[in-house]
Amino acid sequence: MKTIAHYIVLLIVLFCTLNSQAQYDPDKVCRIENGQLIFSINLKWSEKEKKEVSKLFDLDSTLIAQVYSGKSVIVISGVTWNVKKVKPNLVELYKPVQSKADINLKINDVYLVIDQWMNFTGKTNESSVVFGVNNFALSYVFTYGNDNAMFYLPAYKTAGKVYIAGSFNGWSTTQTPMKAVKDGWMIDLNLKPGKYSYKYIVDGKWTTDPNNKLRERDAAGGYNSVVYCCNHRFELKGYKDAGKVVVTGNFFTWNPLGIAMNKTSDGWSLPMYLRDGTYAYKFIVDNVWMPDPANKNTRKDADGNTNSFIEIGEPYLFKLKDFTTADKAILTGSFNRWSQDELVMEKTEKGWQLPYVLAPGNYEYKFIVDGLWITDFENPFSVGSDATKNSFIALKANHLFTLDKFPEAKSVIVTGSFNGWSTQGYRMIQQGGKWIFPIYLQPGKYTYKFIVDGTWMLDPFNQLYEQNEYGTNNSVLWIDPF
């Protein structure tokens, strides 16, 4: 099995060779995108061209042959490849890149100090999309509820076969046939809330959903239809005489234009997908801002305005031990723009606590106890130092940086493209003889280095690296999608 390093080195070596050949462009034949190794295969290549591509990119000739035979899933030497048709004569052959040097650790490899107060998942399956609203020309062509998504394609009565392919089935061309009904085609799919892209395949012809106004570019330069399986419904009763009602909030960066709600028999409504998190919002009725009168969960923002709040997902319990004689404790952090009065904690027998829902990600935070800013002394992970030091938490962490060296070092920092190469970086801690730091990263490529007592260095246990502008190289990390 070839490693990703093998392919990267091969591509660099081949660049000059391929650049001189008019029929090949390395950037178009092979690429790495979103954790996938992708080859674009032209179905009109001659036998000579197929053999040349097979040789240049070290692809098994049997693999190439099976692509041309029309297979959508190919297993060669225990490696599973998928094939997706993107144009009439163009297909993409792809597979996940390997975990580089097996850096993504299993849950059993994570130390107790993390398990005690962090939730390490070891995988990435959360969407980076914060919110989404559907926009169908006909309301009945898509319905969703209780994890059941119904897709309906009107017309095409004379079609022999219709399939739906999308991000929910690996873009399979044969896995999900639709059922012919009186006036078109229909299928029910079990889908969790989230964003999905898709297309219909009508008698072998790929087509976007003609009744769906939401589209986005695909990798081949065309378009895919986009649908949101919604998990929340904003509702405002009354105000039937209003000309326009919108909702806005921190999920929409408080855009005053808002998102238009739909008029109903008893008021206004808007189904929406919201990623896990805590959201502040308001309605704007004919330019008048107002909190949700049916929602008792309200808080004041930094300017003293009252906002309504909703929570999507399971909360994380922030806890502060001791300080039981204090009058007030506030939780603040990067997740709420460091507001000094929004998140008032609840006093307990042993200290203070506040359950708070956050999306998977990396967050800095502090407590404000009777006006005094303090870090979480129970949390060993931090960012910065001295007055700029903040506690750090990675919710649903999916990667663990480790450095099994330098036991006598006083300070070890990991920094990279994921935090703007901050020289303060993320401060690693020693556990079990190793320096460790958990983090949440979206799928993709990252570069990084360690700073050991002020000295910058590559990861000695990661053989994958690339050149930088300083000639000192950077270690490379890939987070694969699941």
CA-to-CA separations, 396 to 19, 91, 276, 283, 372, in angstroms, rounded: 43, 35, 12, 32, 29
Report residue 176 as tokens. Answer: 């999900």
Partners of residue 306 on adjacent β-strands:
300
Report residue 25 as tokens. Answer: 């462009």
pLDDT at 380: 92
Query: What are the domain boundaries of the chain?
Result: 4-98, 134-229, 232-312, 316-395, 397-479
Q: Is 384 buried (19+), middle (13-18) or exposed (0-12) by CB count in 10 A?
A: middle
Do the domains 232-312 and 397-479 sit in the same CATH topology, yes or no?
Answer: yes
pLDDT at 121: 58
> CA-CA distance, 175 to 163, in Å (whole number)?
8
Largest CA distance in the chain: 81
Report residue 337 as tokens. Answer: 């723009």
Tell me which of 2.70.150.10, 2.60.40.1080, 2.60.40.10, 3.30.2000.10 is the CATH number of domain 134-229: 2.60.40.10
CATH 1.20.120.1200 at 397-479, yes or no: no
> CA-CA distance, 330 to 255, in Å (whole number)?
27
3-state class of 416 per DSSP? strand
> How is residue 86 annotated by DSSP?
E
- Determine the Cα angle at 44 with ends 39 and 48, to 5°: 85
The number of helices, as runs of H, and strands, as runs of E, in the chain is: 5, 42
CA-to-CA separations, 103 to 18, 57, 429, 434, in angstroms, rounded: 32, 26, 17, 14
Q: Are 280 and 248 spatial neighbours (Cβ–Cβ below 8 Å)?
A: no
Looking from the CA of 179 toward its CB, the CA atoms found within 13 Å total 8
Q: Are 164 and 186 spatial neighbours (Cβ–Cβ below 8 Å)?
A: no
Give the architecture (CATH level 2) of 232-312.
Sandwich (2.60)
Nearest to 174 by CA among 156, 161, 189, 158: 161
Q: For the segment 213-233, what is each residue's pLDDT rounded down to a tens digit?
A: 999 998 778 899 999 999 999
Query: Average pLDDT for consecutive 10-residue bins of the chain (482 residues)?
Result: 46 40 52 70 86 73 86 78 87 68 39 51 65 95 96 94 94 94 95 95 96 90 94 97 96 96 96 95 97 94 88 94 96 93 93 95 96 94 88 91 92 95 90 90 93 95 90 91 62
> CA-CA distance, 405 to 42, in Å (whole number)?
48
What topology does CATH give the domain 316-395?
Answer: Immunoglobulin-like (2.60.40)
> CA-CA distance, 255 to 268, in Å (whole number)?
19
Nearest to 427 by CA among 380, 362, 373: 380
Q: What's at 25, amino acid-wise?
A: D
> CA-CA distance, 458 to 460, in Å (whole number)?
6
For the chain, the distance separating the N- and C-terminal CA atoms, rounded to the nearest angstrom, is 20
> CA-CA distance, 266 to 365, in Å (whole number)?
42
* Strand intervals (E) in 155-285: 162-166, 179-181, 184-190, 194-202, 205-207, 215-217, 223-229, 232-237, 245-249, 259-260, 262-264, 267-274, 277-285
3-state class of 260 per DSSP? strand
> CA-CA distance, 482 to 479, in Å (whole number)?
9
> CA-CA distance, 78 to 70, in Å (whole number)?
20
3-state class of 149 per DSSP? strand
> CA-CA distance, 211 to 213, in Å (whole number)?
6
